Structure 1
Amino acid sequence: MSSPAEPVSASPSDGGAPPAPSRVEPGLDPAWIAETVARALDEDLGVAPGRDVTTQATVPPSATGTAHLVARADGVVAGLVVVEEVTRQVAERFGLPPVEVTFVASDGAAVGRGRVLAALTGPVQVLLAAERTLLNLASRASGVATATRAWARELAGTGAQVLDTRKTTPGLRALEKYAVRAGGGTNKRMGLYDVAMVKDNHVVAAGSVSAAIDAIRRTFPDVLVQVEADTTAQALEAVSAGADFLLLDNMPTPVLAETVAAVRAREGKDGVPAKVELEATGNLTLDRAREVAGTGVDYLSVGALTHSAPILDLALDLLPTLPPR
């Protein structure tokens, strides 16, 4: 059985996009996949074992067949890692043999309309009952990967990378951030637990940027500290207080360039870290991507990668079987 996460590279038809990561699956815990699929199947089939009243009434358990997972539009595929788990769990719920899955595309690959991504062979009841859950997850992930690839392609050669945010679908953050990696983007923090992010409300609560950073350093000395800044003055205050990473929010390009230059001039001096990571965020669009990258920021963060990306249209087509002779 082939793997959906084999090393992949950009297709010549992908407009010169940077190669997808050679392995994009790290960080997707198999146990998380199993739990996520189980919840999704409970929604569709009812609480385990559940049932598909249409399929189980019209298709005998003994019927077998092959279905093709097909792209109905051009895009970047992601989420193939869930295909086997969905079919495995449905087969187990129905007490039927497992489905054999043969992948002919990999997560992170650019695919064209009509491209077959995988062939699934096994009980037809399993194929039909698994169809919608499988497509929901893979289409969603592929849409995120496709949107991300457009940004990665636009930023190629600038030195800046596209970042995701925490604006993800509840319960699907790990899958959507995986899809960002498959599309050539970079993950920011996974949640509130791994990186400190000082925003305006934290400053109000703590009394100042410096007070907020000091409190974080005392309480969680090993975490990276990021600070949101709306002005050059706020950015300089934050790095002087020891911020490792700045979010430069909603700055016009000239102000952004000025702020980047001012921060770079302070690096390594008077307690400022030797390298401060700089991120542009807020109202970013693809047509401004290279302009913003030209200011010298390290990252552009784009919430739309996960909160607004349309799905990539995928289908699971059951192949006709020849009538008995």
Structure 2
Amino acid sequence: MSSHAVSLPAELVDTVHANVAAALNEDIGSGDRTARLIPEHATASAAVICREKAILCGQAWFEACFHQIDPAVKIHWYTRDGSCIGVDQMLCEIHGNARALLTAERPALNFLQTLSSTATITRRYVEMIAGTGAVVMDTRKTLPGLRLAQKYAVSTGGGANQRNGLYDGILIKENHIAAAGGIAQVLTAAALLADGVPVQIEVENIDELQQALEAGANLILLDNFSIDMLSEAVRLSAGRAILEASGNISLDTIRSVAGTGVQRISVGGLTKHIQAVDLSMRFEWAV
């Protein structure tokens, strides 16, 4: 039984399975020795309680931790991914083999706490720029092995996803420009290699921005621009390119950044500066 279960995009189904299999292998190894303290056929029930206000994310990963160990475990949700959850709110109830519940508990909570953290901080950033027309975006600064999971969490929190990796987009940075001999040259080379993926170039000052615009760049990353520089970049671009602000973006500054008129704002902290949401699992034992 699973009420309010999340409906994942098809491309994430294999990701969930692989993430959870790796987490269980890491935690269980050759076997859960502590679980053997519990009678083999004992059953138990448990409830997951939230200790702080947050945005829930990670139901599929949470469920898979139990079901990869014992498909018969039953989970009933009282909320769903993307919902705001409050202090002392019960998120779900679980029933099944007691050993399975205890073995899956920590990996399941790890996924739910981590992904809820990314969804929660993303929602805060999104709310800070509401009404400006700008979009909050993630980066490749993700926890190793959890990139697609964290990008799902960003989407759940209301943010938008950049490229997944080095294979589905081209981001031209300082070293690429230097190696190619200049901005115009590197954009020409990238256009020949793009094969349909987006091409973005990072610039560090107004002069480089002007060169990129003159070379026909239509997606430009403004690295560590001041507010005045961002405003000037928007004026110079005049709609010729999509502009993305990046670098030292915080909850305190993002509203001012969005007010300059840039279309996109990328925030590495959505996925790397996270603090797990405080969740706990309470057990009740069958007698």
| Smaller-chain TM-score bracket | over 0.9
SS of the residue aligned with 2:200? strand
Q: Give identity over the alignment, percent.
A: 38
Could you tell me which residue of structure 2 aligns to residue 4 of structure 1? Answer: 5
The reply to whether residue 26 of structure 1 matches residue 5 of structure 2 is: no
Shift of 1:5: 2.1
Pairs within 5 Å for 1:119-158: 119-158=93-132
Deviations 1:168-214 (A, max 9, x none): 01100011000001111111111111111010010011111111111
Amino acid at match of 1:41: L
SS of the residue aligned with 1:119? strand
> Which runs of no fewer than 5 residues in structure 1 stay unpaired?
7-24, 92-96, 268-275
Distance 2:223 2:120 in 1: 25
Could you tell me which residue of structure 2 aligns to residue 83 of structure 1? Answer: 62
Pairs within 5 Å for 1:182-261: 182-261=156-235
RMSD, aligned α-carbons: 1.4
Instruction: Check whether the contact 1:160–1:298 (CA below 8 A) recurs between aligned residues.
Output: yes
Amino acid at match of 1:84: E
Deviates more, 1:305-314 or 1:213-222: 213-222
Distance 2:150 2:68 in 1: 21
Could you tell me which residue of structure 2 aligns to residue 51 of structure 1? Answer: 31
Shift of 1:99: 0.3
Amino acid at match of 2:194: F
The reply to whether residue 301 of structure 1 matches residue 266 of structure 2 is: yes
TM-score by length of 1: 0.85
Could you tell me which residue of structure 2 aligns to residue 316 of structure 1? Answer: 281
Task: Select 2:252's aligned residue among 276, 287, 292.
Answer: 287
Q: Could you list the structure 1 runs, at least 4 aligned residues long, displaced by more than 6 angstroms after superposition.
A: none
Amino acid at match of 1:228: E
Could you tell me which residue of structure 2 aligns to residue 74 of structure 1? Answer: 53
> Which runs of no fewer than 5 residues in structure 2 stay unpaired?
none
Distance 2:93 2:276 in 1: 21
Deviations 1:107-165 (A, max 9, x none): 11110011111111101111100001001111110010111011011011111111110
Amino acid at match of 2:6: A
Q: How many residues align?
A: 286
Pairs within 5 Å for 1:160-179: 160-179=134-153
Deviations 1:245-271 (A, max 9, x none): 111111110111011110116x2xxxx
Could you tell me which residue of structure 2 aligns to residue 104 of structure 1? Answer: 78
Residue 283 and residue 141 in structure 1: after superposition, are their counterparts in 2 closer, same or farther (change >3 A)?
same
Could you tell me which residue of structure 2 aligns to residue 42 of structure 1? Answer: 25
Shift of 1:27: 6.3
Instruction: Check whether the contact 2:43–2:285 (CA below 8 A) recurs between aligned residues.
Output: no
Instruction: Check whether the contact 2:220–2:242 (CA below 8 A) recurs between aligned residues.
Output: yes
Distance 1:5 1:105 in 2: 10
Amino acid at match of 1:245: L
Instruction: Check whether the contact 1:180–1:305 (CA below 8 A) recurs between aligned residues.
Output: yes
Shift of 1:26: 2.5
Distance 2:225 2:99 in 1: 55
Distance 2:227 2:194 in 1: 34
Distance 2:170 2:147 in 1: 18
Deviates more, 1:200-209 or 1:219-228: 219-228
Amino acid at match of 1:33: V
TM-score by length of 2: 0.96
SS of the residue aligned with 2:179? helix
Instruction: Check whether the contact 1:28–1:174 (CA below 8 A) recurs between aligned residues.
Output: no
Distance 2:254 2:194 in 1: 34
